[in-house]
Structure 1
Amino acid sequence: MRIIAGRHRGRVLRAPEGAATRPTADRVRQALFDMLWHAPWGGRTVVQDQLVLDAFAGTGALGLEALSRGANHATFIETDRAALTALRANIAACKEEPRSAVLTADATRPPRARVPCGLVFLDPPYGQALVPKTVVGLHAAGWIAPGALLVAETAQDEALDLPGYVAVANRSHGAATLHVLRAPGEQAEDAQ
C-alpha cells in the first residue's frame, strides 16, 4: 500500500497485522481521487486547501492521500490500537504531523469539532450500518461543513440512505462501493 500521487507519491504505508483493519486498496484510492478531481461536480478544489476528516481512519491512507494532493489539514479518527500505531507511523513517515490530528474516539460519537471539514471520508467495517449513524454523530458534533463532500465506502450489498444528502456518484470496485454525497447546505445545489 502506498500514496498514489502528490508530494508523497510512492511513499509506502504501514498496515497493522490481522483482519481488524481493511485498508482501501491503491487502485480504489486512485479511482476515487481521479473521480474527485475530474468529475463535473468535482475539481482540484474538492481536495486542495480543504480541511479533511478521515473517520475509521485505519492506516490513514485516505487522509494522507488528500494531504499529499494539497489538503490543508487532516483529522483522523480511530479506536483500534494496532491501527493507531500504524496511523501515527504513517503520518510521521510522511512528515505530516504539523498538518494532522489523531483522535482516539468513536466516530459515531465524536468530540466537538473546532472547525467543520469540507471533505469527509468514512470507511467503517462493512455490514454494520455504521455510515448513517456516524453521519448523525459527525453532523451533531459540527464536523461536516455545509455543502461538504462525503465519501463513504460500504460493501456492495449495503444500501445507503442519508436524508438531506445528494448522491453525486456511486462506483463499485470489487466487494466495495464508493458513495460520494454532497452534504446539505449552501453548495448542495452545485451537485445537481
Structure 2
Amino acid sequence: MRVIAGECKGRPLKAVPGTNTRPTTDKIKESIFNMIGPFFEGGTGLDLYGGSGGLGLEALSRGMNHFIFIDKDQRAIHTIKENIKQCNYEEKTEVFRNDAKRALKALHKREVRFDMIFLDPPYAKQMLIKDMEEIDKLELLADDGSIVTEHGADISLPEQVGNFQRIRQETYGKTTTISIFKRI
C-alpha cells in the first residue's frame, strides 16, 4: 500500500494487523480518485471507517485541507496515526476511536460539514444505507459534497438514499463495488 499521487506520492503506508480490516487496493484507490478528483483545491473530509487511513491520506496528498478519521478498532487507530506521521499530516488531521453512529452525532454537535465522506465498512457489517440516512438527517455533507462507498459486489445499493443520488457505480473483479453519491 502506498500514496499514489500528489505531494506524498510513493509514500508507503502500513496496513492494520489482523483480518478485521480490509485495505483498499492501490488499483481501486486510483480508480476512486480518477472518478472523484483526481486533485482537489482544499476541502474537509471524513473517513468514517478509517482502517489504515489510506483513502483520507490520498485525498490530503491530492489537495484536501483537513481530514477526520474514525474507527472503533484500537489497532486501526494506531495504524492511522503511524501513517499520518509518515506523511507529515499531523496538523491536517484528527483521529477518533468511536463507532460510526456516535461519531456522526458528535460531528453534528461540532457543526462540521464535509466535502467528501468515505464509507468503507467491513463487508460483513455493511451499514451503508443507515450511515447515509444518518449523514443526511444530520446534514453533515456539504451541498456539493460527495459520499464514496466501497462495498461488496454482492451488495446492491439503491439509486437514491434520502437526499443522496447515486451518480456513479463501478465493480472491480468479483468482490468490490464503488458507489458515489451526491446531494440532490
**What is the CA–CA distance in structure 2 between the aligned matches of 1:167 and 1:112, rounded to whole Å?**
24
Residue 157 (1) aligns with residue 154 (2): yes
**What is the CA–CA distance in structure 1 between the aligned matches of 2:77 and 2:125, rounded to whole Å?**
21
Shift of 1:141: 4.0
Q: Which runs of 5+ in 2 are unaligned?
A: none
Match of 2:123 among 117, 121, 126: 126
**What is the CA–CA distance in structure 2 between the aligned matches of 1:93 and 1:159, rounded to whole Å?**
36
Structure 1 stretches of 4+ with a deviation exceeding 6 A read: none
Residues 141 and 102 (structure 1), Cα distance of their counterparts in 2 relative to 1, 3 Å cut: farther
Match in the other structure for 1:17:
17
Letter in 2 for 1:179: S
CA offsets per residue over residues 57-112 of structure 1, 9 Å max, x none?
10000000000000010011111011111000000111101000112111123213
**What is the CA–CA distance in structure 1 between the aligned matches of 2:163 and 2:64, rounded to whole Å?**
26
Match in the other structure for 1:189:
none
**What is the CA–CA distance in structure 1 between the aligned matches of 2:68 and 2:43, rounded to whole Å?**
11
Q: Secondary structure at the match of 2:80?
A: helix
The CA RMSD measured in Å over matched residues stands at 1.5
Whether contact under 8 Å (2:72, 2:98) holds in the other structure is yes
**What is the CA–CA distance in structure 2 between the aligned matches of 1:14 and 1:79, rounded to whole Å?**
18
Shift of 1:142: 4.2
Shift of 1:154: 0.6
**What is the CA–CA distance in structure 2 between the aligned matches of 1:142 and 1:107, rounded to whole Å?**
15
**What is the CA–CA distance in structure 1 between the aligned matches of 2:27 and 2:133, rounded to whole Å?**
29
- Aligned ranges for residues 56-67 of structure 1 at < 5 Å? 56-67=49-60
Letter in 1 for 2:114: C
Match in the other structure for 1:116:
113
Q: Which runs of 5+ in 1 are unaligned?
A: 39-43, 185-192
- Aligned ranges for residues 1-192 of structure 1 at < 5 Å? 1-37=1-37, 44=39, 47-110=40-103, 111-113=106-108, 114=110, 115-161=112-158, 162-174=161-173, 175-184=175-184
What is the count of residue pairs matched by the alignment?
177
Letter in 2 for 1:12: P
Whether contact under 8 Å (2:45, 2:67) holds in the other structure is yes
Shift of 1:133: 1.5
Whether contact under 8 Å (2:69, 2:93) holds in the other structure is yes
Q: Percent of counterpart pairs with the same letter?
A: 34
How high is the TM-score relative to the length of structure 1? 0.86
